[in-house]
Amino acid sequence: MAQAWSPPTESTDDPRTIPTLNGIITSPITTQSWSSGSQDFVVHNVHIQTHDPNLPPIECAMLLDSRMIKHLPKNLVQQLQPAQPCFEIKDAGDKGAGMFATRDIPAGALILVENPVIITPASILLPEKSGAYQTLFNNLPLTAREELLTMTNCRSREECNTDEEGIARTNGTGIDLAFPLGMEKDPTAKEYGAVFLKINRSNHSCGPNAAHKWDLASFSSSLYALRPISVGEEITMIYTDVTASREVRRAKLKRLYGFDCGCTYCDLPDEESIVSSDAARAQLRDWGHTHPGYLKWSTDLCRADDVVIKSHQNALRLIEREGMQGLQCLYMEEIVLSYAILGEESEFRAWGERLLKLCTIQDRQLAEDLQKWLANPKSMKKWAWRKKQRMQTSGSRRRCVVPPSPDMLYLPLLF
């Protein structure tokens, strides 16, 4: 539930400056604060050291519950960009500006790592003339503030009474921050949105070719390719749940972002194509509930050996058709694990190598595990476990009937 804000309790026109580690004077900070229920909000800047000691740190101005300040990561350093820049921001016709590939980008590759410029609570409404958003913007260095003010504001004056708030709400993407004990129980207190000057120039598609991942430790988001992107192609991401039907997606995009989605996955030739696309997306949304998964299958010898592999390959075909590659790593991981437990080394390696390229940014832990497994598959705890079990039980009288694996695309196998 959105909460109303009470007016500032303390205000000063006397901004201070603070020195950073390398002695550079950064932008002013404010001591102004606002209360909302039991929460006190302040504007607080985070400083990220650049690689060039002659450049000032990157600033991120946050409108933050004051109790969270001491939980912010410390000694932040700017992350390394890809060696070759691969995008430009330019006119995208009636979408405004957009992000476009300046060279071919392979699936899984990093496009850009970026620190946010502002962070604001996502679910708390400000009272009229609270001045909080202006204070926030004023806490940024001039160039960042000017660039931020050129970003889209699709909110009406009734929804957001200042351009600053409209820009924050149009462009803000959800991020996770750390909370003191007790605060985590309040869902609205946990919701924060971050605005990135470049990443948020990427327009929406219901079959996006890119996604971004927030990392609290480095206080940055990495934008990466979900599938190969060709030079000149627009780089897109999602603004809404793309497993929802076309009608629901379009209504939500219109309400929250003020546009009629005309992406390839919405601009379908006839009713039949719409019904088929909606059904495929709903199936992918519910796949885990209606199809066998690795965990239960792995120890259930009554199931056919290829049941998860076949089912997940069907899911991957639907994912490809609907351009929903953001989901593919989940299925591929289970295929890799299935081949491991079956002890089928060549398939395990082929799928493992493919997945490794795709998941390096999306799931760093999985990428590390995969590297270890690929170096020595037989060191995996359950390597060839199912194969060994089958051999051991082949002479036993206590065998179960193994049902044939589903050839039908969407046969719901409930575990």
240 binds ligand SAM (CB under 6 A): no
250 binds ligand SAM (CB under 6 A): no
Look at the chain and count its residues: 415
Q: Which residue in the set 29, 97, 107, 251 belongs to the binding site for ligand SAM (CB under 6 A)?
A: 97
Nearer to ligand SAM, 326 or 352 (CB): 326
CB under 6 A: which stretch of 28-36, 50-58, 94-102, 277-285 binds ligand SAM? 94-102
- Residues 270, 397: Cα–Cα separation, whole Å: 56
Q: Which residue in the set 41, 57, 98, 101 belongs to the binding site for ligand SAM (CB under 6 A)?
A: 98
242 binds ligand SAM (CB under 6 A): no
151 binds ligand SAM (CB under 6 A): yes
Instruction: Say if residue 155 is exposed, middle or buried (CB neighbours under 10 Å; 0-12, 13-18, 19+).
Output: buried
Task: Write phi, then psi, for 385 (nearest 5 degrees).
Answer: -60, -45
169 binds ligand SAM (CB under 6 A): no
HSE on the CB side for 313, CA within 13 Å?
13
Number of residues that bind ligand SAM (CB under 6 A): 18
Cα distances from 171 to residues 10, 153, 163, 166, 216, in angstroms, run 29, 8, 12, 8, 19
Place of tokens 């992000």: 99
30 binds ligand SAM (CB under 6 A): no
Minimum distance from residue 127 beta carbon to ligand SAM (Å): 25
Given a contact cutoff of 8 angstroms between Cβ atoms, the answer to whether 195 and 172 are in contact is: yes
Nearer to ligand SAM, 237 or 361 (CB): 237
Q: Which residue in the set 85, 106, 174, 258 belongs to the binding site for ligand SAM (CB under 6 A)?
A: 258
183 binds ligand SAM (CB under 6 A): no
Residue 129 in tokens: 């003339």
Q: Which residue in the set 169, 201, 250, 312 belongs to the binding site for ligand SAM (CB under 6 A)?
A: 201
Q: Which residue in the shown chain puts its C-beta closest to ligand SAM?
A: 96
251 binds ligand SAM (CB under 6 A): no
Angle between helices 142-149 and 163-171 (to 10 degrees): 80
Q: Which residue in the set 120, 130, 135, 170 belongs to the binding site for ligand SAM (CB under 6 A)?
A: 170
Helix (H) or strand (E) holding 321: helix 307-322
Q: Can you list the alpha helix ranges (DSSP code H) found in 104-245?
A: 132-138, 142-149, 163-171, 187-190
Minimum distance from residue 239 beta carbon to ligand SAM (Å): 7
203 binds ligand SAM (CB under 6 A): yes
174 binds ligand SAM (CB under 6 A): no
257 binds ligand SAM (CB under 6 A): yes
**Where in 259-278 is the site for ligand SAM (CB under 6 A)?**
259, 261, 263
Label the pairing between strands 58-65 and 118-121. Answer: parallel
- Residues 169, 161: Cα–Cα separation, whole Å: 12
Minimum distance from residue 281 beta carbon to ligand SAM (Å): 17
89 binds ligand SAM (CB under 6 A): no
Given a contact cutoff of 8 angstroms between Cβ atoms, the answer to whether 210 and 361 are in contact is: no
- Report helix, strand or coil for 296: helix
- Residues 273, 266: Cα–Cα separation, whole Å: 10
323 binds ligand SAM (CB under 6 A): no
Helix (H) or strand (E) holding 63: strand 58-65
Binding site for ligand SAM (CB under 6 A): 95-98, 151-152, 154, 170-171, 200-201, 203-204, 257-259, 261, 263
